[in-house]
């Protein structure tokens, strides 16, 4: 383990801070090195098995450097008190960013299943608010118009999935699981293709009636 520099006395710190304020880079380095023990101490409070301790130390050191740049030595507070806040703030900002990233999930990540056992993902929820289902399309348009839109706007794989899923033109509808087994691909992939196809059909049907 790397040995830390001996902490500065109050008198030494006051002298170093005066030199730092005058632009002495060597004094600035001395001040930083003398307070690395503080960085390690604060970083240890936020350590965890799944967290990289070196990242904590790095962010804490950035906070220490910022403290060196902004500390007003004429105030009564000792530098360590001010630096501790800067170090902790920098670490907490990093942890908040990590927490935000951990909450970001793929729109195709499974979040449950429906009554038929079909996988439901976030895209399913979004699509419910923006895209009509095939059943609703059949209610609003003649089947021949729907078939024409399917033929003109969808890729071969999309056509196959839509026909199987909704029994078009006159077959029994299949679940996503059944379609996935027939086509030899995952149910989540079937779901993605189906949602993409529905969006295309919605646009095509809108254009056909406008």
Domain 110-209 of CATH type 1.10.10.10: yes
Structure confidence by residue, pLDDT tens digits, 34-60:
999 999 999 988 888 777 788 888 999
Helix ranges (DSSP H) in the chain: 10-21, 25-34, 36-45, 53-70, 79-103, 122-130, 134-140, 143-153, 156-166, 176-183, 187-209
Q: What percent of the chain has pLDDT over 70?
A: 72
Whether the CB-CB separation of 43 and 56 falls below 8 Å is answered with yes
CA-to-CA distance for 20 and 31, rounded, in angstroms? 8
DSSP, collapsed to helix, strand or coil, labels residue 70 as: helix
Whether the CB-CB separation of 117 and 175 falls below 8 Å is answered with yes
CATH of the structural domain 10-103, one choice from 3.90.950.10, 1.10.600.10, 1.20.120.1810, 3.40.50.2300? 1.20.120.1810
> In this predicted structure, what is the pLDDT of residue 173?
80
DSSP, collapsed to helix, strand or coil, labels residue 144 as: helix
> In this predicted structure, what is the pLDDT of residue 126?
47
Asked if domains 10-103 and 110-209 share a fold, the reply is no
**What are the Cα distances from residue 26, in Å, to 16, 29, 32, 47, 120?**
9, 5, 10, 31, 61
CA-to-CA distance for 77 and 63, rounded, in angstroms? 17
CA-to-CA distance for 83 and 34, rounded, in angstroms? 12
Tell whether the model's pLDDT for residue 209 goes beyond 90. no
CA-to-CA distance for 100 and 133, rounded, in angstroms? 33
Domain boundaries in the chain? 10-103, 110-209
Closest CA to 74 of 14, 10, 8: 14
Structure confidence by residue, pLDDT tens digits, 137-187:
544 444 556 777 788 889 999 999 988 887 776 778 888 889 999 999 998
């Amino acid at each position: 383990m790397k040995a830390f520099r001996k902490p500065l006395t109050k008198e030494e710190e006051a002298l170093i801070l005066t030199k730092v304020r005058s632009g002495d880079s060597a004094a600035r380095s001395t001040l930083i090195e003398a307070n690395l023990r503080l960085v390690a101490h604060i970083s240890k409070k936020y350590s965890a098995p799944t967290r990289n301790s070196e990242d904590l130390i790095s962010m804490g050191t950035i906070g220490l450097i910022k403290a060196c740049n902004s500390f007003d030595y004429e105030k009564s507070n000792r530098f360590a008190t001010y630096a501790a806040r800067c170090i902790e703030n920098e670490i907490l900002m990093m942890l908040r960013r990590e927490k935000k990233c951990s909450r970001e999930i793929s729109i195709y990540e499974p979040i449950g299943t429906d009554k038929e056992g079909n996988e439901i993902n976030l895209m399913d929820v979004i699509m419910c608010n923006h895209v009509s289902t095939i059943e609703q399309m059949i209610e609003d348009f003649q089947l021949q118009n729907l078939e024409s839109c399917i033929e003109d706007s969808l890729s071969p794989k999309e056509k196959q999935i839509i026909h199987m899923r909704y029994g078009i033109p006159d077959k029994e509808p299949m679940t996503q699981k059944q379609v996935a087994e027939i086509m030899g691909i995952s149910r989540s992939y079937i779901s993605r293709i189906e949602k993409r196809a529905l969006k295309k059909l919605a646009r095509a049907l809108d254009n056909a009636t406008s």
